[in-house]
Amino acid sequence: MSEPGAERAVPERRSVRAPHRVPVSTYRVQLGSDLTFDDVAARVPYYSTLGVTHVYLSPVLAAAPGSTHGYDVVDHDEVAATLGGEAGLRRLAEVAHGAGLGLVLDIVPNHMAVPTPVWHNRALWSVLDAGPDSPFAAWFDVDWSAGDGAVLMPVLGDRIGAVLARDELRLVEEDVPGVGPRTVLRYHDHVFPVRPGTEQLPLAELVERQHYRLAYWKVADEELNYRRFFDVGTLVAVRVEDPEVFDATHALVLRLLRDGVIDGLRIDHPDGLADPAGYLARLREATDGAWVVVEKILAGTEELPDDWATAGTTGYEALWRVQQTFVDPGGAGALGSVMHRLTGDVSDAFEDVEQGAKREIVDGPLYAEVHRLTNLAAEICHEDLRLRDHTWRALEECLVELLVAFDRYRAYVVPGETPPSTSVSVLTSAARRARRHLGAEREATMDVLLDLLLGREAGSAGRTRDPRRDELVVRFQQTCGAVMAKGVEDTAFYRWTHLVALCEVGGEPVRFATTPTDLTAWAARTQAAAPLGMTTLSTHDTKRSEDTRARLGVLSEVPHEWSALVEELRRVSAPYRGTLLDGRTEYLLWQTLAGTWTDDGPITEDRLVEYLTKAVREAKSHTSWTAPDTAYEDAVLSAARRARTDPAVLGLLADWEVRTRSAVRAATLGTKLVQLTLPGVADVYQGTEVPDPALVDPDNRRPVDAADLVARLARLDEGAGPRGAADEKMLVTSRALRVRRDLAEAFIGPDAGFVALPHSSGHSMAYARTVAGEPRVVVVATRLAAAVDRLGGWADHTLALPDGTWHDVLTDRAVAGGVQRVADVLERLPVALLVREEA
């Protein structure tokens, strides 16, 4: 039954060495003060019963005060006391391992926090105290040649002159934790070390003599001299490419791995590192080949770099493909018309929106990074007579256009190494697009810049490498990732409203919909290339949960009805929709209400208001985090509050929920079952084993009602039939996870395979998971159920099951092999999970 080559040996760099275990499935938990290690340990029996094999922990190292997520690490040598400390983590490990579960840990190698007060980060405090002489100076990516040799600290609420004039800086004595009594400089809650010997100077002179430069916070976008995480000045980049820094920042995590406390790692944002491939190679050696996956967004048809030593990604490329397989391509035109009526945008304009957003980010929040790149390129050109006539301005214009045209996070050029053909193609294609926005006089400069970025000979004969050229190659790639993240993910995706469910982390909104053939072809390639990477539908970073996106995806199935509904919503809300409310935000509001509406009614007001505030500020069209427009935001939130309580709106959306309930049911269960059974390690985000129409963080990080989940699963396990949507999704999730666990060889084993099964309807999906070519599990799912209903059901459509007798674990009934009517296989549920019965 298997396709030729469907079962192949996993490439060594993608494999996991014995005795390390490969997760069969993971359950992601968001740790915090409301979910400590002991709290998770108490839930281990539930996780085990659900069927997962590993609990996947958010970052556990000591984080900045008040951190709600753990990605702002301040100490690599300490497990966060707020979570229970190392003792609590070890207790959790003992409980989990005793139940047969492993632990996967999320780690953050790219950056640390710049906390308030900064002494919470002892390494950074040392650098501010001693400057380049600090033993930690090599840790941080600081350009000591810029900013008068001082680290820019853009924390002031006004310009330094005004702050000094108002006597807001104070010289005080404080007992600094881990340091002792010190004379420090205090600015409200901020505390900074004072350089020995400067204590008696006049305050203005004292401030000027430090190893840091206090500055107005807005200065950061123009003069920052340390690399940060994207445009977040409170997250300073760490130079893990330095072996000593790697060892120091990974010592605790590696000890936990060696001690068997944790069993695998998830790596946050490796694209931000100077040398991702080198980092992963070093990590593979240090972990002796443990299971390691990376948070990597693969744009379009991009593949994971061949030289990355990792089992695979965290699954964003699976997320959008699964989701868009359940979107009806026939709805694109009608939904585009709705968008055009409200916003003026046309269906094929996303790339223009994306380019505009990236340009704003390059010219604004990331100007300091672009300025530093231009300085590097200009210095290289100035030092070589043959390049000297390429001016600073010409280089800046070329760099800006190249960054805007670049269509992925990185090109993976390593200084001193011949760039892969894919890297050359990516950069040259971007340069070709960039040239369209440049005059003919910039052609030669773009040629030089392209050669420099590819590490080729440029200028005088033989000149290919020196420290500046190497730095330009690396920093350009690090900046590309920041432009993509901030320009696309955090700006364009909040502006584009064709179908907002497509604007997801790692998403491809230009690919409105995909087909089952597309998905199964991708799955077959994944099974061969990286079968131990993750699949996911929801994460702590997704802009909308899988259930919100499933509800929104149904709009594509009934686009004309949705168009009529929007017109009616606009009519009844006209009296309180002010003139400041723009079309994009209005359309986002209607889709958000529809996507989060359940049979219990609308999302709560506080959640809706918090989401819309974040959305309009991220869009940056009328307001932003750095320059909020109160009048505009008030207009948006006032309209949202009124709409949410307007009886006419409530009636229309309640009717819509009933009208689309059947299609939403099929999409919710179908996407979940497919995600859980595709090649890869299946991840379940906390609480999504039942429908949870959530929005972007912090909404998707709300506490989970564990008691309800435990009771619901227990009731199903006792033989009760599903009582509604929550029970049905719990049934599908738990049974799929248990099948994975019990038949792991069909999902992650060396002989595991994937093969599509013949079927006659484009509204069904069917495939088998195999072991050594023999089908062991079959998955059948309904896609575009609204169309099936319009056609009067499945009629005589069939699918070809492998020979033998099969057991549908979702409905507990036998199903014969061979050609079967789809209507019979999906008699009770819109999905089926069939396991071969042994002869």
Is residue 589 predicted with pLDDT exceeding 90? yes
User: How high does pLDDT run on average in the chain?
Assistant: 95
Structural domain includes residue 481: yes
Report pLDDT digits (tens) over 154-165.
999 999 999 999
Q: Are residues 397 and 433 in the same domain?
A: yes
Position 10 confidence tier, pLDDT thresholds 50, 70, 90: confident
Cβ atoms within 10 Å of 599's Cβ, excluding its own: 10
Q: Are residues 168 and 245 in the same domain?
A: no
pLDDT digits 0-9 by tens, 304-362: 999 999 999 999 999 999 999 999 999 999 999 999 999 999 999 999 999 999 999 99
Contact in structure between 279 and 240 (CB atoms under 8 Å):
yes
What are the pLDDT digits (tens) for 732-779?
999 999 999 999 999 999 999 999 999 999 999 999 999 999 999 999
For residue 627, is pLDDT > 80?
A: yes
Q: Is the domain of 360 the same as that of 485? A: yes
Q: Which two tokens stand for residue 630?
A: 């109160």
Q: Dump pLDDT digits (tens) for 597-619.
A: 999 999 999 999 999 999 999 99
The structure's pTM equals 0.95
Alpha helices (H) in 209-287, listed in sequence order = 220-223, 243-258, 276-287
Q: Alpha-carbon distance 834 to 677, whole Å?
A: 11
Task: Indicate whether 5 belongs to any domain.
Answer: no
Query: Which domain-ending residue is among 466, 489, 512?
Result: 489
Residue 225 shares a structural domain with residue 168: yes
- Residues paired with 774 in a beta bridge: 771
146 pLDDT tier (thresholds 50, 70, 90): low
Band (pLDDT 50/70/90 cuts) for residue 178 is: confident
Same domain, yes or no: 126 and 70: no
Checking if the pLDDT of 3 tops 50, the result is no
Give the domain-ending residue among 465, 489, 513: 489
CATH number reported for the structural domain that contains residue 135 in this entry = 3.30.1590.10
pLDDT for 7 equals 44
Q: Is the pLDDT confidence value at 206 over 60?
A: yes
Distance CA 778, CA 519 (A): 16
Asked whether residue 331 is assigned to any structural domain, the reply reads no
Is residue 76, in this structure, part of any structural domain at all?
yes
**Residue 725 belongs to some domain of the structure:** no
Answer yes or no: do 361 and 481 share one domain: yes
- CA 466 → CA 138, 389, 413, 462, 463, distances in Å? 20, 20, 15, 11, 8
Are 227 and 277 contained in the same domain?
Answer: no
Domain count, the chain: 3
- Cα(157)–Cα(680) distance, integer angstroms: 48
Domain stop point among 190, 207, 237: 237
Nearest to 625 by CA among 154, 201, 81, 232: 232
- CA-CA distance, 292 to 17, in Å (whole number)? 11
One domain for residues 244 and 232: no
Q: Both 173 and 69 in a single domain? A: no
Q: Has residue 682 got a pLDDT over 70? A: yes
What confidence tens digit (pLDDT) does each residue in 416-468 have? 999 999 999 999 999 999 999 999 999 999 999 999 999 999 998 888 899 99
For residue 54, pLDDT over 70 is answered with yes
In a domain, 80, yes or no: yes
- At 839, is the pLDDT very low, low, confident or very high (cuts 50, 70, 90)? low
Which residues form the domain of 27? Answer: 17-110+240-310
pLDDT exceeding 90 applies to what percent of the chain?
93
Pick the closest to residue 253 from 281, 279, 282, 287 (CA basis). Answer: 287
> Cα–Cα–Cα angle for 295, 507, 735, nearest 5°?
70
463 lies in the same domain as 390: yes
How confident is the model over 105-120, as pLDDT tens digits?
A: 999 999 999 999 999 9
Q: Is 644 part of any domain?
A: no
Quote the pLDDT of residue 2. 38
Alpha-carbon distances, residue 472 vs 465, 531, 721 (angstroms)? 10, 35, 62
pLDDT at 143: 80
The residues, any chain, with a CB within 8 Å of residue 163's CB and separated by 6 or more, are 156, 157, 169, 187, 214
Inter-residue contact 806 to 817 (CB < 8 Å): yes
The reply to whether 295 and 365 lie within a common domain is no
Q: What are the DSSP calls for 583-599, one per residue? A: HHHHHHHHHHHHHH-BT
Residue 514: inside a domain, yes or no?
Answer: no
pLDDT band at 11 (very low <50, low <70, confident <90, very high): confident
- Does the pLDDT at position 6 exceed 70? no
pLDDT tens digits for range 767-824: 999 999 999 999 999 999 999 999 999 999 999 999 999 999 999 999 999 999 999 9
542: left (phi over 0), alpha (psi -120 to 50) or beta: beta
Task: Give long-range contacts, CB 8 A cutoff, 24+ apart: 829-832.
Answer: 829/669, 829/728, 829/732, 830/665, 830/666, 830/669, 830/670, 830/781, 830/782, 830/785, 831/666, 831/669, 831/670, 831/673, 831/732, 831/779, 831/780, 831/781, 831/782, 832/778, 832/779, 832/780, 832/781, 832/808
The reply to whether 176 and 224 lie within a common domain is yes
Q: How far apart are CA 140 and CA 229, in angstroms?
A: 12
Instruction: Give the C-alpha separation, 385 to 812, whole Å.
Output: 79
